A and B are shown apart, each in its own frame.
Chain A
């Protein structure tokens, strides 16, 4: 088992997350893609923590912080999605042009 395997896995997961974030039309799927990217970052942190800093385990502490912030982000993101859905009656990303000039 090597560090590089985990880093390559995390990179692939992050790229899949970016693809879903940019190409999805459904808002909920965009939120899911953001969760995938956060998980990829967590996997990177954990791999570094295990292979480069196995006694200090600062990476695991950071991963716990990232998990808690991801939970807060999911809650607020879904609340925003619900609020926009009530106003615009759609979940299509292409019709959310509220913040365009």
Chain B
């Protein structure tokens, strides 16, 4: 990145503030729709941090995959599962939250101490910069070929698995030769969301 040092520092500070503030909002806000939109903001500022780290290709992949796919997927999930229910308050929930907060602060202190005390072998070579895309492609098809193919198989498995898990199940006891049923979709009829489903019995 051919920016001046001060510009880089200010950009880094802004992006870190957006990232950490957005992450705190994701975790702490009550309304989950706000959390989902803030998550998109966190992903976008993370891609800005990647650009600061001379990784344009991964920044573009981050915007495409995380902002374009994962955020939208989570928003769809929220809207499909949107149930306005007040959670039953747990006994001594504050104790669990305080303990978790203590563990997280302790973990952060541990990580920060080990980060600041390790003598990092900082390389003095010039970063690859915009040629990184070609270098990543060479890596994919030479020394990372097996993980690359395994990732493609994993994506296929995840696609099929998500479809199988999320679709409605078949009615198990429909007679196969019944002609009057032949033109209907072989799925359980969709329940009405909140009010009607409580009264009618399960088929």
Contacts and interface: CB of A to CB of B under 8 A. Distances in A.
Contact of A12 (B20, B80, B144): B20
Interface residues of B, number: 84
A65 B144 CA distance: 10
A19 B101 contact: yes
Would you call the interface of chain B mostly helix, strand, loop, or mixed? helix
A27 B123 CA distance: 42
B87 A72 contact: no
Contacts of A70: 65-66, 70
Interface string B75-111: 0111011010101101000001100110111011001
Contacts of A74: 69-70, 73-74
Contacts, number: 234
A43 B73 CA distance: 22
Interface in B1-49: 5, 8-9, 12, 16, 19-20, 23-24, 26-27, 32, 35-36, 39, 42-43, 46, 49
B111 A11 contact: yes
A15 B107 CA distance: 7
A59 to B, nearest CB: 9
Contact of A35 (B66, B115, B121): B66
Interface of A: 1, 3-9, 11-20, 22-29, 31-33, 35-36, 39, 42-43, 46-47, 49-58, 60-61, 63-65, 67-76, 78-83, 85-86, 89-92, 94
15 contacts: A15-B105, A16-B104, A31-B74, A49-B55, A51-B120, A52-B120, A57-B128, A61-B139, A67-B65, A68-B154, A73-B158, A82-B80, A85-B83, A91-B81, A92-B87
